Structure 1
């Protein structure tokens, strides 16, 4: 619900405007002058409607104090000059008294719609600047097909959803899919990692605060819940939320309203809550670390995101997409996975899930000199497969130690052979070759035989 402030020195006009706006679903506060208006937190309103001629300061004086809140100026002196002056001062628009009620309502609706678009664009820019393992949910395994079906079913509803899955499985992608496929897709999706915010700041970040609410609160701040008004709020790792913040969140779910720290009044908000956790909330409830009433409010519908190790060939599909994106991002030459690397990725348990897979691929792309990525480059510790069989090492000449022979062989052939060929001739892995170079102080030189 949008929160509006009407500023006019005539009580009859203020009351009439408030009743008109409230009949059309707006929440309205009043003030009789600029000084009276400044006693409130202007940044907490979605729109300020002010008369131009007021006792003391003119209505345009509110603009410099309103921050991101738009100001609509009313005036009985309908002239081009007053309209231009108001807009030049930063007013969102100008309307002349006496005005038609429908004209006013249309103007208010247009300004609020433009403000919503600005918020959406800001959220989109934030999303673009934030790197993710993937921009969509990838995979066609049976578990993922069932997840897709449930997302499509739940997206159109306003029901609270709890997403459960191990760290790195892509819970935020599921939340984004629920938001973007639903009726709130044109409004912001605000994502919050509850584990990343210090416990002393989490309530202020979520619910906002008034000036002087606590030491260091130099001004009013709108919380992330209010920023998500009309859209969706995604609380990741909700199991880390302190009990005090849990109580405020429960009130949000029950009453659909939020009150900033230090404020005396609550304000209505329309937010769909999507929560996620990798922890067992029932166990946290039993341990007294999570409110039982909040758990039941959150656990209306649960979506379970399977770990990567249970998704079969989805691992290969995800890995190939991540490889393409990593190559493009770092500017590498074309690469592919060796058959042995594909087998190793299927067998590996991936405790860090997609996030670990992404990091492994990025490291491999940076270190790879050839056209194929091997398990060694992925740093997957698995038994060697058929592709990893190398020829027997060459016998060192009589009288030379193994280390002397290694040094002699590398220095003699490194300008004609790639690192892979050197390792194969020596009967060792590329990783072992690199480690021995480091130990013996033999820097790698890029010659004609290096495929980089």
Structure 2
């Protein structure tokens, strides 16, 4: 049973929080100050929940005193800078009082699940450690487990399947495995199966002989053969056509390939790493992916957590990526403002690390001062905060699919997120309203309306008058 220490000087709030947590199965101890909390062995707790303002020392002192134990800071002062400063000092998250019971329980559950071994861990595992995981940045339990598995899997010859959402860094994992393997001095050939046209995928992978088809004027070495002795990384293997899957299966089974138009096969010694954001097990059950191939590549499996589930890793990763962008663009040092930090740590990042990296690159280019604001990141803080309170997560792909269906209803009983409402309103009224009218109705500027159109991929439709004028 998980143990939680609640540090709060108001006895009413402290007692209510204790009852709430105990009803959910947690063991709870109380303290009214940091000094009183010192009477406990803090290392025995799985989580410390502390008010920011306490008599005597502030609640943030528990971050240092608690060592590896995660600290959730509560504040009723609506002080954004104080809450953000507490996260910079090492607090895992903050929550505003008065808090919603479900918000508190969800935060506690998430933090404890993200830090199951926190008491046994040392300093943040980042990424300047020698070896092949140097590009992977993270200290959450999922990332530590990932790095441990990479070190175990790399020396073997077994096929690895890397699973994770788009933008989580699957190619970085493949590079890490290759660099830690005995094949490190040999080539690593990366192939994005989704980026090669279906008609060319087999010739790209397996190569061809002169005269095999129209336009084959010379012999061509395929990408598999080019990786001989090294590692072949097949990204988005779920997009591979069925015919190419059959040939790939033979290569895995026999260790040989045959170029298109060739009679003889060639032996190839390649370590295979595959990656996908799709559910291959379901695709195989539905006949959309070969089951025998799935079983062949699903030997050693690694899972990359989405950025939204990595806790305070997000802020650490953002600062690391910001330093890289400043160095890359040869800019003077720029810091993240409190509002930018709040946006980074509360936004859901559907594009994961890749989206964060691009947002920071854009922000460094656009920022002229010493601090990056949330607007430079392209994050609407008001939308983010409303959805965080509601416990909602915006899914751009799902929203785009819904709008493309043209079956858009305006039932006021629907439980819509603010992003959904924005998109529906714009799509329903853009034919009858000008951009100025749309912006006024939504209570935003035209610039903000344009930015949200870009973010949600809602093209601006030409009005009838503009079309008529253009035609004349």
Q: Same fold (TM over 0.5)?
A: yes
Structure 2 Cα separation of the partners of residues 435 and 273 of structure 1: 46
Kindly indicate whether the alpha-carbon contact (under 8 Å) linking 1:340 and 1:385 is maintained by their aligned counterparts in 2.
no
Kindly indicate whether the alpha-carbon contact (under 8 Å) linking 2:347 and 2:384 is maintained by their aligned counterparts in 1.
no
Q: Deviations over 1:262-297 (max 9, x none)?
A: 000001111010000000011211222210000000
SS in 1 for 2:194: helix
Kindly indicate whether the alpha-carbon contact (under 8 Å) linking 1:135 and 1:173 is maintained by their aligned counterparts in 2.
no
Q: Indicate how the Cα distance of structure 1 residues 217 and 158 shifts in structure 2: closer, same or farther if over 3 A, else same.
A: same
In structure 1, runs of 5+ residues without a counterpart are 1-133, 387-430, 437-452
Kindly indicate whether the alpha-carbon contact (under 8 Å) linking 1:162 and 1:275 is maintained by their aligned counterparts in 2.
yes
Larger Rg: 1 or 2? 1
Partner residue, 1:141: 140
Structure 1 residue 152 and structure 2 residue 147: aligned? no
Partner residue, 1:235: 234
Structure 1 residue 327 and structure 2 residue 326: aligned? yes
Q: Deviations over 1:99-142 (max 9, x none)?
A: xxxxxxxxxxxxxxxxxxxxxxxxxxxxxxxxxxx971111111
Q: Deviations over 1:383-412 (max 9, x none)?
A: 2999xxxxxxxxxxxxxxxxxxxxxxxxxx
Partner residue, 1:349: 348
Structure 2 Cα separation of the partners of residues 384 and 210 of structure 1: 57
Q: Deviations over 1:12-38 (max 9, x none)?
A: xxxxxxxxxxxxxxxxxxxxxxxxxxx
Structure 1 residue 254 and structure 2 residue 253: aligned? yes
SS in 2 for 1:265: coil
Deviation at 1:331, TM superposition (A): 2.5
Deviation at 1:212, TM superposition (A): 1.1
Runs of 4+ with deviation above 4 angstroms: 431-436
SS in 2 for 1:213: coil
Partner residue, 1:173: 172
Matches within 5 A, 1:379-398: 379-383=378-382
Matches within 5 A, 1:70-81: none
SS in 1 for 2:221: coil
Partner residue, 2:287: 288
Kindly indicate whether the alpha-carbon contact (under 8 Å) linking 1:155 and 1:182 is maintained by their aligned counterparts in 2.
yes
Structure 1 residue 368 and structure 2 residue 367: aligned? yes
Structure 1 Cα separation of the partners of residues 329 and 134 of structure 2: 18
Structure 2 Cα separation of the partners of residues 312 and 385 of structure 1: 16
Partner residue, 1:317: 316
Counting matched residue pairs gives: 259
Deviation at 1:203, TM superposition (A): 0.4
Kindly indicate whether the alpha-carbon contact (under 8 Å) linking 1:251 and 1:257 is maintained by their aligned counterparts in 2.
yes
In structure 2, runs of 5+ residues without a counterpart are 1-132, 386-443, 450-472
Structure 2 Cα separation of the partners of residues 280 and 381 of structure 1: 32
Structure 1 Cα separation of the partners of residues 282 and 356 of structure 2: 30
Q: Indicate how the Cα distance of structure 1 residues 170 and 219 shifts in structure 2: closer, same or farther if over 3 A, else same.
A: same
Q: Indicate how the Cα distance of structure 1 residues 263 and 433 shifts in structure 2: closer, same or farther if over 3 A, else same.
A: closer
Deviation at 1:433, TM superposition (A): 11
